[in-house]
Structure 1
Amino acid sequence: MTTSMNRRTFVKGSLAASAMAALAACGKKGSTGAAASGEATGGTLNYYINNPVAIDPYDLEEDQGMQVGYQLFDALTTYDFDKGELIGLAAESWDVNDAADEFTFHLVKGAKFHDGTTVTSKSFKQGWERIVSPKTSETHASGIGYHLAMVQGYSELSVGDATELTGVTCPDDDTLVVKLVQSYADFPFVCMHPALSPVPDCAMDDFDTFFFAPVGNGPFKMDGKWEDGQQINIVRFDDYSYGDPAIIDGVHFNIQKDVQTAYTEFQAGNLDMASVPTTQLKDAISQYGESEDGSTVTPGHQVLTGAELSVYYLMLNVADETLKDVDVRKAISLAINRQAICDTVFEGTREPAGGIVPPGIAGYVENSWEFSKYDPDAAKALLDAKYPANADGMRGINVALTYNLDGDHKAVMEMVMADLKAIGINATSNTAEWSSIVTNTYPNADFQIGRLGWIADYPIMDNFLYPLFATGADNNYGKYSNPAVDNAINEARAIADDKEREAKYQEIDKTIAADMPVVPLFYYKHQMVGSSRVKYLHIDPQKLIMMDKVELEA
């Protein structure tokens, strides 16, 4: 999943629970952190977001729209970060065959959509087909159908040669059977993504109406429609089927153009939750107090700085003549002082990345990538034989860094360029609007080095290794290809035992690290603040909030 700045390429991800077992639903999604008091009721949370790409499951591809969609829709499964396990949500349990290529989900019976109609297995099937079919909308293409790429019939439906996902069947209203084209023991993790939520029949009748005022099965329902660039209002759904009704009355999503504007509104008392500009984070902590666990807002402990399942990295075009040389790629990585970037640009609120997989993902190994560290002497040694330095210390190696100027990217890239110059590599800037970069520059591989970020779609190693490094994968913009990696990922997906599968992914991670197709720079952390009105609010490592559990002062 991408962030608001990165769109589809920021942030995707998993802690593996046994896919071979049938798991019971717990009646709530995500993690709640420390127990809420249960005393406060009612009120409306005023929450800042940028203008989203979509709030309809049809195109939930970035974190701003995802926050809204997460409140409106419930998928089959959810991840409990407190317990460290995948649990049921709209599905009360599921079974998987021995080959891990067929999954049978048993739905919560009698669950209701916001329009009063019943959630059935057909609701999931049509929701999934809706995000894959190119015929769903003539004006807005979905960017998230790839989540279902392993389902039988995806290839045909995605190009318009079929009208259904043949691998998804509905034996009865409460049973959904999914047949995959290959083994994938972690598939129930994919099913936690809000994009794979069910949709009622009205979604199939009028795309534009549903897109701006979607009807879901989650704890909140729309109050009016999304006013593009202005606001989105949601209110409690009293007939919520998968847990208790929300504590608060609703949420007012206040759409602002940027973080600074939103923070100014927060300081004026007009918002209850906002992002904090990096340069003001220390002052915010001093004024509002830091969250005790980094992820939970309580009075006097209102600034969130906890870890996220996300990584900021440089993507290297391995087909480029200069970057074909693995020693050049390794030297670039060794030249960059990640700690200095974290300390200087982010005032210590980021953590240097020792690999592409962030902490919090099962299988994470600290500093797993040998060359993802700062060692300029080693970088020079790698280059000396083939690219000797001239009298000015330069080696005739020229690279261009592609990035957008929003946020802190310019400051990060300037430090990267200075570090590269220090080892004799001449680096220049190639800046553009982010929308142009992600729609034209990256898909066409028209770059040498490009900055990207990635946050877990679902918290598994596969969600970092497959989309970024599998041959031909949508987000593998650097055109990296290693048949050994491709084969090993397919083998890992078929392993039923969690620990064995985790160990296999760790081996794959080492193989990729040796090829150095990207340069991990740092792991993200939350950077948000709540107002004194917020009695309790918890954000999980995927930046999602269970707003039905939020408590506000009366």
Structure 2
Amino acid sequence: MHQPTMGRRTFVKGSLAASALAALAACGKKGGSDTTATSGEATGGTLNYYINNPVSIDPYDAEEDQGMQVCYQLFDALMTYDFEKGELKGLAAESYKANDAADEFTFTLVKGAKFHDGTTVTSKSFKQAWERICNPKTSETTPSNISYHLSMVEGYSEMAKGEATELKGVTCPDDDTLVVKLIQPYADFPFVCMHPALSPVPDAALKDFDTFFFAPVGNGAFKMDGKWEDGQQINLVRFDDYSYGDKAKIDGIHFNIQKDVQTAYTEFQAGNIDVAQVPTAQIKDAISQYGESGDGFTITPGKQVLTGAELSTYYIICNLGNEQMQDLDLRKALSLAINRQAICDTVFEGTREPAGGIIPPGIAGYQENTWEYVKYDKDAATQLLDAKYPMGADGTRGISVKLSFNLDGDHKSIMEMVMADWKAVGITVEAVNNDWATTLKDYKAGNFQMGRLAWIADYPIQDNFIYPLFSTEGDNNYGKYSNKDVDDAILKARATLDEKERQAAFQEIDKKVGAEMPVIPLFYYKHQLVGSSKVKKLYMDPQKLCDMSEVELSA
């Protein structure tokens, strides 16, 4: 789930205007890349892009970044986010307005937009798409794991329980107007509507689930060429009747499915793939060979390795249901004892940034080093421990902790450095290792003391790091942190229409949570991708999504 390259969360920044009405021009441009052509007219061509075999390319279950990249090309949601300008913009919606209570939103759609099958995108297309996600009877074999995006829409609970067949809070006064009523105020709801999972679907999606799942019909700049060949490839071609902007500059995309990052990178080096992920151990060599992107997000010839910041944080959760972990001074000491910079330099060759809190750079309202105890200070850690757990003659303090983590990827190397830092201050650590599925099951059941996790934002807002992780009812609050003052403050902040006031409110909530250390942030993620010299221009946004309609290739 929440591990990058297989996480169900994705992310961003921004907010509602201070007034109750926010007018937005539909720009038909995702992510915020500079669309100025590097050399006149586009030359066409096919982009050969590596992905691992996805979970889904259908919005119905758009939950991890491999399938999300495909879905992002096939479908356009109501909203998009321009990272360079820091603006939320309309995409399939040309404008929207919110009521003064921030619990009802009216979206006006771009008129006459078409699906790939030639049918018209209407407000009904969104309503049936959202209900398709929420209805537990949509598929007998493939459950949707992403309906939580709509959990605040009126009627969601009844649909999720199978007690209703429609979302009561979603209405369509006419073909070009979509009205959404929430069960509580949430000023940031338009950001939710930028998620690919909430894209519209045509009537065809309701007729044959399996056919649509492997060959989705969307409203995006590219359409399917054949169907998803499981474990092998996915081919897309330009959709010439694209409705939300200029048609794609390239002819198509070949998603080359490989079993792992190393295999894909070897294929890239052989000239068989245009864009691939770089294995961590080879990042410095890749930069030396292919050059590093100037801004970290844009591939151009000679500057082909991307290292820009992503909106994701790697951290350790503390189970506050465990008596030992209820000791705040112990949690502070455990955090202070960790040398985060050494982890970033040793494991990731400097391609990660030590965390100073749970909210990463790039989120609107981000502030540096907001959590006082998220830094390396071995002496301070020792002083906190000495006061309660004096060091014994054997070099230990008579306390031990259990640390759960899965062994795939770089997790073993990261956790070994954490355990060594803890041992250096006299704490005995026992590693608890299982596969990811079992580890996650243990987290949900509360069957752990401490454990590693990562969070990729669904949307670029502070709330998406605060509410799911730290509200008492948060669906990913595995450590069972609960503070009524924090809960009340979150609800108040969510109902605040003014953007600056809302950001300031969440900043104060963030500091309050940080003072209680329910989790121990370690580092923020960065891009680790490379493009071939064939790629004249490609922009990968901080959500690790690329608007491939703007990609330019050499002839």
User: TM-score band (shorter)?
Assistant: over 0.9
**TM-score, normalised with respect to structure 2:** 0.97
Correspondence for 1:16: 15
Q: How does 1:78-227 map to 2 (within 5 A)?
A: 78-227=80-229
Q: Distance in 1 between matches of 2:241 and 2:229?
A: 26
Correspondence for 1:514: 515
Correspondence for 2:410: 408
The residue type paired with residue 76 of structure 1 is L
Q: Percent identity?
A: 73
The answer as to whether partners of 2:23 and 2:97 remain within 8 angstroms in 1 is yes
Q: Distance in 2 between matches of 1:382 and 1:13?
A: 37
Correspondence for 2:419: 417
Of the candidates 270, 273, 276, which is equivalent to residue 271 of structure 1?
Answer: 273
Cα shift at 1:34: 6.6
| Residues 196/225 of structure 1: CA separation in 2 closer, same or farther (3 Å cut) | same
Once structures 1 and 2 are overlaid, which stretch shifts more, 84-93 or 397-406?
Answer: 397-406
The residue type paired with residue 7 of structure 1 is G
Q: Distance in 1 between matches of 2:289 and 2:244?
A: 38
Correspondence for 1:244: 246
Cα shift at 1:265: 0.6
Q: Distance in 2 between matches of 1:334 and 1:3?
A: 24
Q: Distance in 1 between matches of 2:166 and 2:551?
A: 39
Correspondence for 2:495: 494
- SS of the residue corresponding to residue 247 of structure 2 reads coil
Say yes or no: does 1:537 pair with 2:538. yes
The answer as to whether partners of 1:2 and 1:12 remain within 8 angstroms in 2 is no
| Residues 236/5 of structure 1: CA separation in 2 closer, same or farther (3 Å cut) | closer
Q: Distance in 2 between matches of 1:321 and 1:517?
A: 13
The answer as to whether partners of 1:338 and 1:373 remain within 8 angstroms in 2 is yes
Q: Distance in 2 between matches of 1:12 and 1:436?
A: 26
Q: Distance in 1 between matches of 2:231 and 2:332?
A: 43
Cα deviation code 1:92-134 (max 9, x no counterpart):
0001111111100000011111111111101101111111121
Correspondence for 1:463: 464
Q: How does 1:315-326 map to 2 (within 5 A)?
A: 315-326=317-328
Correspondence for 1:503: 504
| Residues 334/4 of structure 1: CA separation in 2 closer, same or farther (3 Å cut) | closer
Q: Distance in 2 between matches of 1:508 and 1:266?
A: 45
Cα shift at 1:14: 2.4
Correspondence for 2:255: 253
Cα shift at 1:215: 0.8
Q: Distance in 1 between matches of 2:55 and 2:34?
A: 29
Cα deviation code 1:304-327 (max 9, x no counterpart):
111111111111111112212111
The answer as to whether partners of 1:94 and 1:105 remain within 8 angstroms in 2 is yes
Once structures 1 and 2 are overlaid, which stretch shifts more, 450-459 or 289-298?
Answer: 450-459
The residue type paired with residue 125 of structure 1 is K
Cα shift at 1:4: 5.3
Q: Distance in 2 between matches of 1:381 and 1:13?
A: 39
Q: How many residues align?
A: 552
Q: Distance in 1 between matches of 2:436 and 2:143?
A: 18
Q: Distance in 2 between matches of 1:3 and 1:198?
A: 27
Correspondence for 2:482: 481
Q: Distance in 2 between matches of 1:489 and 1:320?
A: 25
The residue type paired with residue 517 of structure 1 is P
Say yes or no: does 1:451 pair with 2:441. no
Cα shift at 1:431: 1.7
Q: Distance in 2 between matches of 1:61 and 1:68?
A: 12
Correspondence for 2:7: 7
Q: Distance in 2 between matches of 1:512 and 1:91?
A: 36
Q: Distance in 2 between matches of 1:42 and 1:23?
A: 31
Cα shift at 1:39: 3.0
Q: Distance in 2 between matches of 1:441 and 1:72?
A: 36
**TM-score, normalised with respect to structure 1:** 0.97
Q: Distance in 2 between matches of 1:385 and 1:301?
A: 52
Mind listing any 5+ residue stretches in structure 2 that lack a counterpart?
none
Cα shift at 1:435: 2.8
- SS of the residue corresponding to residue 57 of structure 2 reads coil
- SS of the residue corresponding to residue 288 of structure 2 reads helix
| Residues 12/549 of structure 1: CA separation in 2 closer, same or farther (3 Å cut) | closer
Cα shift at 1:449: 1.5
The residue type paired with residue 249 of structure 2 is I
Q: Distance in 2 between matches of 1:427 and 1:202?
A: 55
Q: Distance in 1 between matches of 2:3 and 2:63?
A: 8
| Residues 210/4 of structure 1: CA separation in 2 closer, same or farther (3 Å cut) | farther
The residue type paired with residue 13 of structure 2 is S
- SS of the residue corresponding to residue 548 of structure 1 reads helix
Correspondence for 1:428: 430
Cα shift at 1:12: 4.4
Q: Distance in 2 between matches of 1:109 and 1:321?
A: 59
- SS of the residue corresponding to residue 323 of structure 1 reads helix
Q: How does 1:46-57 map to 2 (within 5 A)?
A: 46-57=48-59
The answer as to whether partners of 2:15 and 2:187 remain within 8 angstroms in 1 is no
The residue type paired with residue 82 of structure 2 is D
Say yes or no: does 1:389 pair with 2:391. yes
Correspondence for 2:27: 26
The residue type paired with residue 25 of structure 1 is A
| Residues 11/430 of structure 1: CA separation in 2 closer, same or farther (3 Å cut) | farther
- SS of the residue corresponding to residue 324 of structure 2 reads coil
Cα deviation code 1:13-33 (max 9, x no counterpart):
522242732222122222114
The residue type paired with residue 231 of structure 1 is Q
| Residues 237/467 of structure 1: CA separation in 2 closer, same or farther (3 Å cut) | same
Q: Distance in 1 between matches of 2:504 and 2:239?
A: 43
